[in-house]
Structure 1
Amino acid sequence: MANFDILVHVRRYEGESLAATVALTLAQRLQAHLLGLYVAALGSVAYSTLETVVFQVQEADDLYETALAQRDVWEKRLAANGVAGEWLVAQGEPVEAICHAARWCDLIVAERPQLTADAPIGWGTVSRTVFGAGIPVVVVPETAKPTSVGERVIIAWNHSREAARAISGALPVLRLAKQILVLDGAEQQSLVGARHLPQLDLAVYFARHGVAAEFRPFTPTSEYGANILSNAHTMAADLIVMGAWGHSRIAELVLGGSTRYLFQHSDVPLFVAH
């Protein structure tokens, strides 16, 4: 029986879904229960006439029913990959639907468009899901070509709350990894003025949780995101684990940041938490 639940947002039920492929790979590795979620769009009724609203609602209902009928296709794909799961369909705003379904799951997998990047500064579908879901999210860039997921992992460790949450959520994946490299960066300074706070020794924490990892000091003077991605490419990593938005989205809009950079430029799936 599965003791880990993965929710994957399926943006298109026709043809191949990159997010579904990554989610299936993770579900196989973790022996997880995989829930596929398609959200049928409900068109805006602003400035619409009554006749137009009636037509839009009927069209949305038809799309919802068509999506429901994809259950057999999804179940056949699960069976072909030896994965247990189910097919869910919602109607309306994607982030609200994803965050609702995430309440009984441990991990979300979502594909992020790159050519029409929807979240360069933190207000797109995937980034709003990271903020609202309350559980980690595997962000799959549209440009990713993963042949494996979670075998060679790079961890961006800056001692922040967000990074710690990502690492904790990724433990089931990390225990099965063949290679893990921790980029051990500078500790963030506390903003509350507390002194003598106990610190997490990540190496000891990993040893206690059955995770083997190599630690490497990480002290770039600039371009943190680009340096993380460069290290990932060098080791042929298939997953980057990191905290998301340790600074506010406004700060990242004005100043930039590693989250913003990697959401825009990474071709490696990102395991993130906020």
Structure 2
Amino acid sequence: MDYRTIVVELGPDAGCVARIRVAADLASCFGAHVIGASATGLRIDPVRGAGDDAAWYAELARRRRLGQAAWYGELLGNTLADAAPGITFSHHVVAEEPGWVLAQEARVADIVLLARPGPTGGGVPSLAAEVAEYVLLNAGRPVIVLSEEVRRLHGGHVVIAWDGQRAAARAVADAMPLLLRARQVTILAVWDRAGRPDANSEPVVGLRHYLQRYGIVAAVRTERTSLPVGPVICDVLRELGADLLVAGDYGHSRVRELVMGGTTRTLMRHTEVPVLFSH
């Protein structure tokens, strides 16, 4: 069970090189092909009758965007050659918006590596947040959001945020190649109702047995709280010294088809470790 095609977002953020290096590490581990995706934005032709100046500026902007994309292609090739010589890669440049491009590329890949959105004030999502959320909702593939400090995704301590729901089950299946190579796996169940489940309570016990059939012996951590789930998960990750979080997309019934739930946005922006999301 491996990842054979890995898509990595190329962009101007400070974590781009680190993200490429993580892609190289995964590709070396799984024998995968890396696709670097560059989005140059929608091409906007000048309005008829706007004059020669409008056409000249439109062409200038187009050339500038293509020049930036070419630079990202060189960065991709040089970084991969340095980090993992011999792996195959390709650079795809598409004249569309970043979220759309990454979602399309991800649909014919196994996993996509994205820049982690930064915290935003006033509840207004940043452009980066909109890109990551759009890809998660529309790609049909797992995504991993990464900060610029991350250097490795496999071989560490993986925590599974488990609520027994469909999205969490999908995330576990999507993360199996990483779970099989993890040094340690912990199931984290956060509850907001009466009772305190343990390792032998449903739905935790079902996941434990499922993982055991793959040779994965998982520890269990349960938390009961009346607080928002996202910050509680972040606190437990720090306490456990986790290296990767596996989580389903937390949302609210049909609303989550259009809008992220608060827990997903908290985990996407505020976790100090990479997060593998599935929707």
Other structure's SS at 2:276 match: strand
The Cα of 1:243 is off from its aligned counterpart by 0.7
Give the corresponding residue for 2:80: 78
Q: Give the corresponding residue for 1:23.
A: 23
User: C-alpha separation between the residues in 2 aligned to 1:129 and 1:63?
Assistant: 22
Equivalent residue number for residue 230 of structure 1: 235
Asked if 2 retains the 8 angstrom alpha-carbon contact of 1:160 and 1:246, the reply is: no
Corresponding residue of 1:137: 143
The answer to whether the 8 A contact 2:20-2:80 is kept is no
1:136 counterpart letter in structure 2: P
1:37 Cα offset (Å): 1.0
Per the alignment, residue 262 of structure 1 pairs with: 267
* Residues 129-158 of structure 1 deviation map (CA, whole Å, 9 limit, x = unaligned): 1001000000124xx522432311111000
**1:200-219 aligned within 5 A:** 201-219=206-224
Structure 1 unaligned spans of 5+: 189-197
Indicate yes or no: 2:199 matched with 1:180: no
Q: Is the 8 A contact 1:33 1:84 kept in 2?
A: yes
Tell me the secondary structure at the aligned position of residue 36 of structure 1.
strand
Structure 1 pair 262/3, CA: closer, same or farther in 2 (3 Å)? closer
The whole-number CA distance in structure 1 between the counterparts of 2:204 and 2:184 is 25
Counterparts of 1:101-112 in structure 2, within 5 Å, are 101-112=105-116
Alpha-carbon deviation of 1:32?
Answer: 2.2
The residue identity in structure 2 corresponding to 1:19 is: R
Matched, 1:124 2:130: yes
Residue 177 of structure 1 aligns to a residue whose secondary structure is coil
CA distances 1:5-56 after superposition (whole Å, capped 9, x unpaired): 1101111399953332332333333332211111123465698945425522
Secondary structure of 2:225's partner?
A: coil
Matches within 5 A, 1:140-179: 140-141=146-147, 144-150=148-154, 151-179=156-184
In 2, Cα distance between equivalents of 1:254 and 1:89: 28
Question: Contact between 1:64 and 1:91, CA under 8 Å: does it hold in 2?
Answer: no
Give the 3-state SS of the residue equivalent to 1:67 in structure 2: helix
When the two chains are superposed, the root-mean-square deviation of aligned CA atoms in Å is: 3.6
CA contact (8 A) 1:106 1:135 kept: yes
TM-score (norm 2): 0.79
Contact map agreement 2:115 2:145 (CA 8 A) in 1 = yes
Q: In structure 2, what residue type is equivalent to 1:229?
A: C
Task: Could you tell me which runs of 5 or more consecutive residues in structure 2 were left unpaired when the two chains were aligned.
Answer: 194-202
Q: Cα 1:171–1:187, aligned 2, differ >3 Å: closer, same or farther?
A: farther
The 1:75–1:239 alpha-carbon spacing in structure 2 relative to 1, beyond 3 Å, is: same
> Does the residue aligned with 1:41 lie in a helix, a strand or coil?
coil
Identify the match of residue 272 of structure 1 among 266, 273, 277. Answer: 277
Structure 1 contact 119–126 (Cα < 8 Å) conserved: no
Q: 1:238 Cα deviation (Å)? A: 1.7
- Residues 180 and 132 of structure 1, relative CA distance in 2, 3 Å threshold: same
Q: Supply the distance in 1 between the matched residues of 2:138 and 2:40 (Cα, whole angstroms).
A: 20
CA distance in 2, matches of 1:53, 1:76: 35
Contact 2:114 2:146 in 1 (8 A): yes
Letter in 1 for 2:170: R
Structure 1 204/236 Cα, relative in aligned 2: closer, same or farther at 3 Å? same
Q: CA deviation at 1:211?
A: 2.5
- After TM superposition, the structure 1 stretch with the greater mean CA deviation from structure 2, 59-68 or 83-92, is 59-68
Structure 1 residues 30-109: aligned runs within 5 Å: 30-42=30-42, 49=50, 51-68=53-70, 70-82=72-84, 83-109=87-113
Between the two proteins, the alignment pairs up a number of residues equal to 262
Question: Residue 8 of structure 2 contacts residue 36 of structure 2 at CA under 8 Å; is this kept in 1?
Answer: yes
Deviations 1:208-240 (A, max 9, x none): 223232122232222211111111111221211
